[in-house]
Amino acid sequence: MFFPRGTITSILLLAVVPFLSPFSGSLEFLLGRDRLFLEEFDLVEGKNIGFFGNQTSRSTLDRLIDDPRVRVGKIFVPEHGLEGIIGAGLPVEDERYRNVPVISAYGPGRRKIDPRELEGLDCLVFELQDIGTRHYTYLTTLYLQMSSCADAGIPFILLDRPNGGGDMVEGPMLDPAFQSYIGLFGPNAHGMTQGELAGLFLEEGELLDGDRYDRQGEYSRLPELDLHVVRMANYDRSRGIWQNGFRESDWIAPSPNIPSPLSALCYKGSGLFDGYEIGEIVRDYRKLELVQFENIQLPRIREKEEILYFLDRCYDNWDFPGLQLEPVKNGLTGAWDILRYRITDMGEFNSTLAALAILYTWEEVYHPGEENGFTDVSRFDKAMGNSWVSGLFTEGELIPFADFLGRIRADEERFRNIREPYLLY
């Protein structure tokens, strides 16, 4: 069932520029899947298992298929499919992989495994690389597959992995009225591993009860789930994905728009510009390279003096700890309309607050009257998980940024207290 809380590692500040220098720790870091094969294989030995994963966990899947001690009866996949190449929001079709049925848990009206599909299986093994962000479908995917296993009465075995977005808790708490598939609970970024989240999901029914997922109804059986978390060994939570010897080339994109570990870090904030006139995805601005969420594009600005003036105003509102905002000339248009995120300290970098400070300043400079820069407020609110943030910019005069910041900081501290009993590392 549940598991004891591990020691909480103290926060270490990690400079990531130059990018991804190796960690010189003496203890070997092991993923949950490593420990499954080394120490806890009895959880699956002799069993007919289901496997839930994608391209980030396919090496585990292949190893299980090849192992004569276990039988993989079915494979289940999330949004983007087994290969992780299907576009956002597009349905994932059933298929076969190495002669094993692959069943989609993402399609029209379908977000979880039908418990009937779990009949005949002894357990479900779940391994998926997440990025630690609420407005990303893998958080809710975990919760829903846990509920399917609770309904089917079979154990749920989670192979824990690092949080791709780091340890930072970021942003305001979700208003339950805005609960959605991309907004299950909590702040914008939770800083927890999936193993830690699974423990929280079992115990914090009130926190997870919202308009979309009612814990008094369909999901009320979740505390009955037989949960096994195969923990990582020697995981330093302050380093997130950047564990012992990790290289940027080791990164397997969990979805098409998160091509690098840096994009996973930045997405927590820059992904919130969906529904606003600032560009959240910047492609081909220089040397025809693909750059996702690590840079944002500012409308209207063309001259370098304009973007430098805007940057000065941004820093007047906030000091952007752990981040330098670098103006970049657009190689295609010649306009100085790109802001590049250069992370200097992962332990201080709060992507959500950085994005909101930029948005606040943009409203202050370019929309000082009744107009605002929202192109689709409902989309912004859905990702943000509330309407009070957009309301600050669309209803009346702006409050001081310090007051705005203080309200969010209070939510972040509240969630740190909520999550503490469930931290394993």
The whole-chain average pLDDT of the chain stands at 90
Using alpha carbons, select from 292, 62, 59, 52 the residue that is nearest to residue 194: 52
- Cis amide bond preceding 18, omega within 30: yes
Q: Which segments within 278-362 are labelled E, that is strand?
A: 279-283, 290-297, 323-328, 338-343
Q: What is the mean pLDDT of residues 371-386?
A: 96
What is the DSSP pairing of strand 323-328 with strand 338-343?
Answer: antiparallel
At 216, is the pLDDT very low, low, confident or very high (cuts 50, 70, 90)? Answer: confident
pLDDT higher than threshold 60 for residue 23 = no
**Which tens digit of pLDDT belongs to each residue from 45-88?**
999 999 999 999 999 999 999 999 999 999 999 999 999 999 99
Q: What is the CA radius of gyration of the chain?
A: 22
**Which tens digit of pLDDT belongs to each residue from 223-242?**
999 999 999 999 999 988 98
Q: Are 19 and 248 in contact (CB under 8 A)?
A: yes
Distance CA 420, CA 262 (A): 26
Whether the full predicted model's pTM is greater than 0.85, yes or no, is: yes
Q: Which segments within 71-195 are labelled E, that is strand?
A: 71-77, 95-97, 100-104, 123-126, 156-159
Residue found by looking up tokens 């989609």 in the block:
104
CA distances from residue 175 to 78, 213, 388 in whole angstroms, order as listed:
25, 13, 9
- CATH, range 261-392: 3.90.1150.140
Percentage of residues in the chain having pLDDT higher than 90: 77
Instruction: Report residue 41: phi and psi, to 5°.
Output: -70, -15
* Token pair belonging to 270: 């820059």
Domain boundaries, the chain: 32-249+417-422, 261-392
Of 309 and 18, more confident: 309
| Fold of the 32-249+417-422 domain | Rossmann fold (3.40.50)
Distance CA 122, CA 108 (A): 28
